[in-house]
Amino acid sequence: PGTKRLPQAIVVGVKKGGTRAVLEFIRVHPDVRALGTEPHFFDRNYDRGLEWYRSLMPRTLDSQITVEKTPSYFVTKEAPRRIFNMSRDTKLIVVVRNPVTRAISDYTQTLSKKPDIPTFEGLTFRNRSLGLVDTSWNAIRIGMYAVHLESWLQYFPLSQIHFVSGEKLITDPAGEMGKVQDFLGIKRVITDKHFYFNKTKGFPCLKKSESSGLPRCLGKSKGRTHVQIDPEVIEQLRDFYRPYNVRFYETVGQDFRWE
C-alpha cells in the first residue's frame, strides 16, 4: 500500500559521523519509511532524473515521512542547489562528530579495504615540520564543517537543518533521537526503552528491529578499533580544526565541545 514519494527529509552528512545509526534508529518509528541503501542521487546519479530517484523510495502512507541518507552530499558543491530545486521544504539532517576522530575513523575504514595506503601522518601533512595540513585529502577536508555549511546556507535556512552530535548519539541515543523526532515533526516514539549499550562494540544498539524481536546492532564495519596515531599529530590536527570548529559552533548556535 501507499505511494513512492520523493524524500521529505535527507540525512546529508557526514561520512563516519554516525549517519547509519541515525537512519537505523529513526526507521523504527512507525511514521518513517527509509531507503536502506545510499542512492547517491544528488552527487553521482543526478543525470538519471527525479523519476528514477523516486522509483528507489519505499512506499509510504499519507501520514508517513520518506527519508534517505547519503553522507557525501554534505561535501558535494552541487547538492544544496539540486535538493532545493527538488523541494525547498526538504528537511536536512547532518550528523557531525569531532573532526579529528572522524578523520581517523575515515582512514581506518580505507585502510581495512586498501592495506597498502600511506600512513595517516603521511596523508595528513603537506609539510609536517611546518604543521601544514593537506586540505585536499578528503579525510581532512570533510571535517571542515563550517566551510561546507556555507554552500547549504545559500539555499536553506538554519531552521531546516538539524545537527546531530555523533558523540551524544553514543552516550545518549534516546536524547539525540528525541530531538530528531521533534525536528521531523513526529511523535517521540523512540525512547530509552529502545536501546541497550553493547560493551563489545562500544555503542548503543536497538533492542529489537521493526521486523524481528531480536536485538539489532550495526554491522561489522561499525565500531572498528581505530589505528593508533602519534599524540603529537592529534594535537596538530586539533589546532588546525579549532578555528573551523569555533566558526561552526557560532554559525549553528551549538557548542559540540570538541576541544
pLDDT of residue 199: 84
Q: Identify the structural domains of the chain with CATH numbers, from first to last.
A: 3-252 (3.40.50.300)
Q: For residues 20 and 13, is the Cβ–Cβ distance under 8 A?
A: no
Q: What mean pLDDT is predicted for residues 97-104?
A: 98
pLDDT, one tens digit per residue, over 30-58 is: 999 999 999 999 999 999 999 999 999 99
Q: What is the mean pLDDT of the chain?
A: 94
pLDDT of residue 222: 65
Q: Residue 29, annotated ligand binder?
A: no
- CA–CA dist 247, 190 (Å, integer): 32
Q: What are phi and psi of 222, to 5 degrees?
A: -100, 140
Segment holding 235, helix H or strand E: helix 231-252
Share of the chain above pLDDT 90, in %: 87
Residue 97, C-alpha cell as written in the block? 562528530
Q: Residue 20, annotated ligand binder?
A: yes
208 catalytic per annotation: no
Q: Residue 224, annotated ligand binder?
A: yes
pLDDT band at 71 (very low <50, low <70, confident <90, very high): very high
pLDDT of residue 208: 65
Q: How many CA atoms lie less than 13 Å away from 164 in the CB half-sphere?
A: 36
Q: Which of 4, 15, 16, 193 is catalytic?
A: 16
Strand-pair category, 9-13 with 65-69: parallel
Q: Residue 17, annotated ligand binder?
A: yes
